[in-house]
Structure 1
């Protein structure tokens, strides 16, 4: 049995933990999939590259309201796909090669790892098993798309997840997206912008239900204008037909060429068997960690999607920095800060949030006030002729501190950043609004005006 100083399972955010400060550590990396993890290879980075292309393709559909006669002709799907992965795939290969060849104290195992005893990991590489051990482990093996348990669906060609749909050979003429969250909303925008007829099957009464209720309602309304959105719909059966797939649903039969299952993601703990080394799990399969990213087993840390309920790359990166510090400084551990975790949905219109929703504030019995600013009522909103976007703020009426911010509209993922900063550093809403310049007429006036609308003491 080979012994290392540190074993890292997963090469997403955890890959950044080991730098020159670990030069005298003997480190093993275990990676069952693509080097660099989900975000680089089949998650946030390639999807946003597709989203940007989709924004360009979708622009003509909104040009007429500005008095511009613009036409969308076609998308060269292979060219788009190959351009994107022509950038991504060399980064993946380069990262793997750099770890494997440039660092004599580091070993890369390109295979599945599974705990078989206390701090013992059996790794299978090309059908050959080897058991390794170390006093310290970092479990950061991420998650994978949740599959849909519907009679006949798994056996059919033409059924994809977010891991696979971006590499299809050609665009279908029509597709069904099962799901109503981040992934569904982003891919619905991408493929419909490219000319695909999109149907979205949502088992609940709205899309993006994790967002503030007003944002979810507005997005659902806009989605229904653009796609065939079937709310409160369940699939009972799937079958092959001559020209594709037939889904039998509670809202009738739907024939399609491609099905994208986008109902969420599950942690990869079932593939690792962490219970064999004594690590405790949440009921949903996530690894339990404390504020220092430590599991209940001394020397074993976990981070990212395998332990976090956020499933966001910037959260995993933050947690990796915490683990990096705590491995080097066990006597003065640093805690993760999950107080003000932002998120964004890169669909059309964009959606972004940080902090509490109204529903969450009420459920927790927190006293709050709100203010809403429409894009339509700021100068740059006039320039865009935007009539649907808005920013909604929640604040503590006693302290003036922001409690939450929710945006639906152009550049939402960018506009949310100063509000994240204000919440993170305790800047009161009134001071933020009045003690600095706001460029006029620019989009950030959406934030300024919303802050000024809060009924707070001067």
Structure 2
């Protein structure tokens, strides 16, 4: 006798940020909701291998930078000392485990049925789940099914010996701090982790394919961060040609080979991109269309080509940011179950931050994007570079630079882009992001009285 199919109003595949947000919001509207997660840990990449543990490491790396300047600011006995990587890993893992438990309790409190197992489509309204507890395969049906499985790191498996390296997930599994590391990649993940390694005292080599990293950002961000990376001793290998092989030595070090360099390192970190985690879902059984890259095709209302199936988050590849997935998930449930007919996420002017050293933030158009959209004669750029007052008593070589860039368009000088590099950029951008989302102009910025002395006051006094 075939197993009985359990029916729900809403079945969410993926217990990451977007899936959790959508499932919980739907349940609060009274929908019968089930959430399927294959890893056995709720929270997705952000909680387990992304934003949260990354920010913990960034905070420590940032602390090191401040401690190094302490003797110049009246603490002559201050000494950074040895960093205990193992201690921090243990404490960080415990913190993440506590968050996993909080998510489970919240899901239960909201009345969402948590199903731990690997999901695969049987039809547009049915999913089979291979249960992690070993109880076999169970079938579930729902009027609406959400695909929110996220993504995973890409590996250059065609390179002999690539498997000796680690990816960004593996960074958080390291039990010991490597003395010498190679990071391959030019996106924000590579840059953030390279910055952490270097700040904590690891000899860091960064390999990038072209002459700059963070190329999707305004040049002011990539230029300023590259300058500072070189200043603090990160060795940037530009125009890198792919390694021909990676060799594991008897000492357990890795030897990297290409036509430019042979380099021995303790650890090799691949940060060369991410891909949607759709393997095993059997999307073809439901008729869901994907791009050649594997990303699920979904419109601004998160609808796929199959009426009963929706998708959001990293698996659709629009803006792979945790808050984007959360916002999209909540608005989707508002529309499906809350009676908010046109609820959907506006993907325009989404602020984002790169937690490098110094940190950087951006919202809106780059200068070139603004020129392409409005015409060069319609664009006016305001820019300022300075040293914050928090470095007033610090030697010049130890000061972290701050650069702000405002991109304005049209006769009213509407602010269409804001790009920040320097301390506190993340916190500053969150507030200014609201103003830009509301359509602020340069005169709106000018009409706001400055808070002195702050770095952010520079944004309302630009000339």
- Is the CA contact (8 Å cut-off) linking 2:118 and 2:129 kept in structure 1? yes
* TM-score, L = length of structure 1: 0.90
Change in Cα spacing, 1:250 to 1:64, as seen in structure 2 (3 Å) is farther
Question: Does structure 1 residue 112 correspond to structure 2 residue 118?
Answer: yes
Counting only pairs closer than 5 Å after superposition, residues 379-394 of structure 1 correspond to structure 2 as 382=392, 386=399, 388-394=401-407
- The CA deviation string for residues 100-150 of structure 1, in whole angstroms up to 9 with x for no partner, is 5x56x6432212112232222221113522232211111111111111234
Of 351-360 and 266-275, the range deviating more from structure 2: 266-275
In the alignment, which residue of structure 2 is the partner of 1:420? 433
What is the RMSD computed on CA atoms of the aligned residues? Answer: 2.3
Match of 1:239 among 244, 247, 259: 247
Counting only pairs closer than 5 Å after superposition, residues 162-181 of structure 1 correspond to structure 2 as 162-181=168-187
In the alignment, which residue of structure 2 is the partner of 1:456? none
- Is the CA contact (8 Å cut-off) linking 1:305 and 1:316 kept in structure 2? yes
- Is the CA contact (8 Å cut-off) linking 2:380 and 2:413 kept in structure 1? no
In the alignment, which residue of structure 1 is the partner of 2:65? 58
Change in Cα spacing, 1:150 to 1:175, as seen in structure 2 (3 Å) is farther
- The CA deviation string for residues 312-359 of structure 1, in whole angstroms up to 9 with x for no partner, is 111111101211201114671312111111111111011110000012
Match of 2:16 among 12, 30, 53: 12
Change in Cα spacing, 1:223 to 1:134, as seen in structure 2 (3 Å) is same
Match of 2:196 among 178, 190, 194: 190
Offset at residue 364 of structure 1 (A): 3.1
In 2: Cα distance, 1:155 partner to 1:379 partner = 46
Match of 2:214 among 184, 193, 208: 208
Question: Does structure 1 residue 83 correspond to structure 2 residue 91?
Answer: yes
* TM-score, L = length of structure 2: 0.90
Match of 1:39 among 35, 46, 57: 46
In the alignment, which residue of structure 1 is the partner of 2:331? 322
SS in 2 for 1:167: coil
Change in Cα spacing, 1:9 to 1:118, as seen in structure 2 (3 Å) is same
Of 301-310 and 65-74, the range deviating more from structure 2: 65-74
- Is the CA contact (8 Å cut-off) linking 2:445 and 2:459 kept in structure 1? no
Of 13-22 and 412-421, the range deviating more from structure 2: 13-22
Number of residue-to-residue matches in the alignment: 445
Offset at residue 208 of structure 1 (A): 1.4
In 2: Cα distance, 1:269 partner to 1:86 partner = 29
In the alignment, which residue of structure 1 is the partner of 2:225? 219
Change in Cα spacing, 1:20 to 1:359, as seen in structure 2 (3 Å) is closer
Change in Cα spacing, 1:60 to 1:387, as seen in structure 2 (3 Å) is closer
In 2: Cα distance, 1:410 partner to 1:12 partner = 30
In 1: Cα distance, 2:284 partner to 2:373 partner = 34
In the alignment, which residue of structure 2 is the partner of 1:277? 286
In the alignment, structure 1 segments of 5+ residues that lack a partner are 454-458
- The CA deviation string for residues 247-286 of structure 1, in whole angstroms up to 9 with x for no partner, is 1124211111111111121111233232321222233222
In the alignment, which residue of structure 2 is the partner of 1:286? 295
